Amino acid sequence: MLRGIIRGHIVSTRKQESLVGSKFMEVEIMKNGELTGEFIIAVDSVGAGIGETVLITTGSSARLALLNTNAPCDAVIVGIVDY
């Protein structure tokens, strides 16, 4: 799992049918408690907002966090960090 801060959202007027209704977020990755300047685009499954610290699962198992497990996705926001 990765930790990061949501920096923005991605607007996509056209997308693969199994991703219709999904919200895409741009997340800056953290390592050892420090921002890295690296970004990833992740599907939001928990309703996170800009500026929040989130947990992201990646790889082929990420799609298991979505309702449609056949969606072509390799990064999903699965948690919001409280502190």
Q: What are the beta bridge partners of residue 43?
A: 24, 76
- Which candidate, 4, 59, 54, 57, places its Cα nearest to that of 32? 4
Q: For the segment 19-43, what is each residue's pLDDT rounded down to a tens digit?
A: 888 899 999 999 999 999 999 999 9
Whether residue 16 contacts residue 22, with contact meaning beta carbons closer than 8 Å, is answered with: no
pLDDT at 18 over 90: no
Q: What is the pLDDT of residues 55-72, one digit of tens each?
A: 999 998 898 888 888 889
